[in-house]
């Protein structure tokens, strides 16, 4: 992922083994990272048990917020695919107790259907 893509908020797929190692202390013993996507410094991680949003804050990124969302808390979701002139795809996730959806933007190189498929497997 180039710097320009990162500045535009686009996400790129990451190596799941690397993310698994980085999150070792955070994950449950039987939890496995199945898909991970990076937006500049932040991570969007699908495990076999939950969705983990990792928000690196501040100039140095040393302060980090880990937001864990059990799949059962996701009420519905939608995808918007990239068009001819619009090079971005978007995933929206609604979480119980929140009226506004969580929105993530992905670049055209990423298969948004794959992301949606992983989410559907655990939510449906």
Q: Is the pLDDT of residue 82 over 80?
A: no
- Which tokens in the block code for residue 41? 């410094």
Structure tokens at 1: 């992922």
Phi and psi for 42 in degrees, rounded to 5? -85, 155
Q: What confidence tens digit (pLDDT) does each residue in 19-75 have? A: 999 999 999 999 999 999 887 677 889 999 999 999 888 777 678 899 899 999 999
β partners of residue 78: 92
**Beta-carbon neighbour count of residue 45 at 10 Å?**
25
Residues of the chain above pLDDT 90, percent: 41
In this structure, the dihedral spanned by the alpha carbons of residues 75, 113, 28 and 97, taken in order and rounded to 10 degrees, is -20
pTM, rounded to two decimals: 0.75
């Amino acid at each position: 992922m180039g710097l320009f893509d990162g500045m535009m908020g686009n996400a790129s797929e990451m190596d799941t083994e690397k993310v698994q190692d980085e999150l070792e202390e955070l994950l449950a013993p039987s939890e496995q990272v199945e898909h991970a996507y990076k937006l500049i410094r932040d991570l969007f991680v699908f495990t076999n048990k939950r969705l983990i949003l990792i928000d690196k804050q501040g100039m140095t990124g040393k302060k980090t917020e880990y937001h864990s969302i059990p799949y059962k808390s996701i009420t519905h979701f939608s995808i918007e695919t990239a068009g001819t002139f619009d090079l971005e795809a978007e995933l929206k996730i609604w979480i119980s107790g929140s009226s506004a959806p969580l929105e993530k933007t992905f670049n055209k190189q990423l298969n948004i259907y794959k992301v949606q498929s992983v989410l559907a497997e655990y939510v449906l």
